[in-house]
Amino acid sequence: MLPARLHPRRLLSAAPLRLPAPRGAAVGGEPARSPGTTRAEQAHRVVASYKPSKFDKKILVWTGRFKTEEDIPPRIPPEMLDKARNKARVKACYIMIGLSIVACFAVIASAKKAAARHESLTSWNLAKKAKWRKEAALAAEAKTK
């Protein structure tokens, strides 16, 4: 037979275990807030926070994290800004790739037009060198006179 203190009915009837409230928690289960803070500011509150600059705010709006600059809280987690910067970096790379492709097609089109006019780099270089030879010959004649 089990001792009275280890009897199963006694263990089940014991009061439930209560854990202490987490740090910073107010009475009633709602997180503690400093006076004057809004729920939006409280939602983004972390131990290590970062105050975004104007450029950072533009990046956060451009990457779609916030709708307007007024929606951005005064302090944000650094991880949020890192993710936004990475997203902006990728977007900028895609834009540069697109512009490079457009530039390639522009060069191809202009080269085809130059070929239709029978222009080439070789003919330009030959004409330039002939002009230099002619100028050098005129300069040599001017020196001998």
Biggest distance spanned by C-alpha atoms of the chain = 135
pLDDT confidence bin for 120, thresholds 50/70/90: confident
For the chain, the first-to-last Cα distance in angstroms comes to 135
Residue 36 has pLDDT above 60, yes or no: yes
The predicted model scores a pTM of 0.52
pLDDT digits (tens, 9 = 90+) for 46-97: 556 889 999 999 999 999 999 999 999 999 999 999 999 999 999 999 999 9
Q: What is the pLDDT of residue 82?
A: 94
Residue 9 φ/ψ region, left for φ over 0, alpha for ψ in the -120 to 50 degree band, beta for the rest: alpha
Residue 114 has pLDDT above 70, yes or no: yes
- Pinpoint the alpha helices (H) of 38-120: 39-43, 54-62, 78-116
Structure token pair of residue 10 = 């006694």
Alpha-carbon distance of 104 to 107, in angstroms, equals 5
Q: What is the pLDDT of residue 57?
A: 94
Alpha-carbon distance of 102 to 108, in angstroms, equals 10
CA-based torsion, 97, 102, 106, 111: positive or negative: positive
